Structure 1
Amino acid sequence: MDYLEFKIKCLEQFQEILIAELSMIGFDSFLETEEGIDAYTLESDFDRKAFDSVIAQYKEAAEITIEEGVMPKVNWNEEWEKNYDPIEVDDLVYVKASFHPSKPGFKHEIVINPKMSFGTGHHATTFQMLRHQGQIDHQGKRVLDVGSGTGILAVMAHLLGASDVEAFDIDDWCVENGNENFDLNGLTTRMGLGTIREVQPQGQFDIVLANINKNILLDEMAIYAELVKNHGYLLLSGFYTDDINDLTEHAKPLGMELISQQSKDNWAALILKKV
């Protein structure tokens, strides 16, 4: 079966949003490039109407242009290896693929073979979540990673000493890839499949991590607040700096207090504490 290829040029801050939107309408493979993203879907799975709707929604704001083509056969590993460089988050963590050499001078090292999942640390949201994790005591804590993607934040929690890490994602490809990355980094936990309402995590957690998008965060905020223990932490990202007030105002009545925030490339990340 042939794959359809869409080379999408767009502003950098829209790359992860477009990947998320296209994955919801049947696209199963992505490459982030210097100019935007390359998106792939089986010809039999392609929904032109849904695709055009997604592109129209972001075309003007993201300055989108598209080249379409057909790719009969793809060596995915070879393709993403060409486009994946290691990431350095301060001296906290060095994120690399299995084919990269290690690098001294970092407290931790994460091995992520992203394949076609997203959440490698390259995007500003993931980068900031990792940095915020480094500011929170994970030792012996129970941690939940919502919308885990490649599993990178769950891996970070494990390396920081969390005693129990749970993770899940709505995409079965992310779950498969995430479990592979867990194995590479010594996690025995398995990633679940579904939304937070479908997975229904049990008990409460010292730390909840959610790097998704503004609308989902607002919709699920009350669930996160219920899952966070008193004096526990909720780490959020996946939204713009202009959205910070909307998120914090929504969280405040739920007993969640903003204690730290940062921004990178107009993307924001927050640490909230349950008081």
Structure 2
Amino acid sequence: MYYIELLSKHEIQDKDFLVFYDNFDCVFTQYKENNMYNIEVLFKYHKDIELFVDFCSNKKNLSQNPIHSLVDKPKIKTFRYEEADNWINYLGPINITEDFRIVPPWHSLSESNDIIINPSLAFGTGHHETTRSCLDLLLKTKDSFFLTKPINSILDVGTGSGILSIFSSLIFQCKVNGIDIDLEAINQSLSNLKLNSKVSNVDFKLKNLEEVDGNFDLIIINISLDYLLSKLVLVEEKLNKSGVLIISGFLFIDIKDLNLLLKDAKFVIINIIHLNDWVSMVLKKK
């Protein structure tokens, strides 16, 4: 595995990393050291580093992106997987509530409510705003007054690491189906499922939304606004009457586009979380 090291006087916002996830198979980390922010960009292949630097240097629409000015002379490094283990040690436990926390395997104390997620290239460690917001909204949905019937079936679209599927299974105690079109994500979600022996009613499959059979009481989509807008009619069809939809993965500046579409859809907004620049919502089918 390879990575480049960039230094910045200012913290880079998550929204400035977003464009790179659409173009590269990479992972960003950032930490403060000696009054500077150290940004490390990890790649599976060495050739991707040159493509990344070229992309940052030549992409016109990156002129306002702070990373654009940091890649002139990047430090290129290589590390073995045991060194990668040292790098991700800083990803400590995340407290969701007093009762639940997300932990990497090396921090697990075998506590009954620990959800063990192994950080990887699959999206979803609990550190990103969209994942944290979805976890919070799942808890709020479970205890909400607007539920007219129990949640007995859940679909997690774009499951990534499987974190939302595993957590949903624990709090709702029902069958959860997690799907993704990325084979690596499915492999990682299956590995994470094995780490959580108390969870047994989750099924991860490599498939797209169109291939899913049946209907669900709750659907979770933490991907992107473009995906959501293109699939909203299909999602509506796959939700049971009075079903719940949790959506995330889009920025506050894009919320107007979503509101315009929701006017014509059969949903009402129940709850909204705005965390930094990211927005997550709970919708209920009319």
Q: In 2, Cα distance between the equivalents of 1:178 and 1:16?
A: 23
1:187 aligns with one of 184, 200, 215? 200
Paired residues for 1:1-275 under 5 Å: 3-7=1-5, 11-14=12-15, 17-18=18-19, 20-22=21-23, 25=24, 27=25, 30-34=27-31, 35=37, 36-43=39-46, 48=51, 52=55, 56=59, 59-64=62-67, 65-66=70-71, 67-71=74-78, 73-75=80-82, 77-91=84-98, 93-102=100-109, 108-137=113-142, 141-185=152-196, 186-187=199-200, 189-197=202-210, 200-275=211-286
Q: In 1, Cα distance between the equivalents of 2:202 and 2:246?
A: 21
Q: In 2, Cα distance between the equivalents of 1:57 and 1:189?
A: 44
Residues 216/54 of structure 1: CA separation in 2 closer, same or farther (3 Å cut): farther
Q: In 2, Cα distance between the equivalents of 1:55 and 1:128?
A: 34
Deviation at 1:55, TM superposition (A): 7.9
Deviation at 1:248, TM superposition (A): 2.9
Q: In 2, Cα distance between the equivalents of 1:62 and 1:246?
A: 23
Residues 270/48 of structure 1: CA separation in 2 closer, same or farther (3 Å cut): same
Deviations 1:133-169 (A, max 9, x none): 0012396510001111111100111001242101122
Deviation at 1:175, TM superposition (A): 1.1
Deviation at 1:77, TM superposition (A): 4.8
Contact 1:94 1:108 in 2 (8 A): yes
Q: In 2, Cα distance between the equivalents of 1:135 and 1:74?
A: 38
Query: Percent identity, aligned pairs only?
Result: 22
Residues 271/109 of structure 1: CA separation in 2 closer, same or farther (3 Å cut): same
Residues 55/237 of structure 1: CA separation in 2 closer, same or farther (3 Å cut): farther
Over alpha carbons, which structure has the higher Rg? 2
Deviations 1:64-87 (A, max 9, x none): 023251426443651443231111
Contact 1:5 1:70 in 2 (8 A): yes
Deviates more, 1:147-156 or 1:134-143: 134-143
Q: In 2, Cα distance between the equivalents of 1:76 and 1:196?
A: 37
TM-score normalised per structure 2: 0.80
Q: In 2, Cα distance between the equivalents of 1:54 and 1:5?
A: 17
Residues 61/267 of structure 1: CA separation in 2 closer, same or farther (3 Å cut): farther
Aligned residues: 265
Q: In 2, Cα distance between the equivalents of 1:187 and 1:114?
A: 21
Deviation at 1:193, TM superposition (A): 2.0
Q: In 1, Cα distance between the equivalents of 2:158 and 2:169?
A: 17
Contact 1:19 1:30 in 2 (8 A): no
Q: In 2, Cα distance between the equivalents of 1:167 and 1:208?
A: 10
Amino acid in the other structure paired with 2:127: H
Counterpart of 1:113 in 2: which secondary structure?
A: coil
Amino acid in the other structure paired with 1:262: I
Q: In 1, Cα distance between the equivalents of 2:50 and 2:181?
A: 20
Counterpart of 2:142 in 1: which secondary structure?
A: coil
Q: In 1, Cα distance between the equivalents of 2:103 and 2:58?
A: 32
Residues 83/54 of structure 1: CA separation in 2 closer, same or farther (3 Å cut): farther
Residues 215/103 of structure 1: CA separation in 2 closer, same or farther (3 Å cut): same
Deviation at 1:41, TM superposition (A): 2.7
Q: In 2, Cα distance between the equivalents of 1:16 and 1:231?
A: 36
Contact 2:169 2:202 in 1 (8 A): no
Amino acid in the other structure paired with 2:209: I
Contact 1:143 1:206 in 2 (8 A): yes
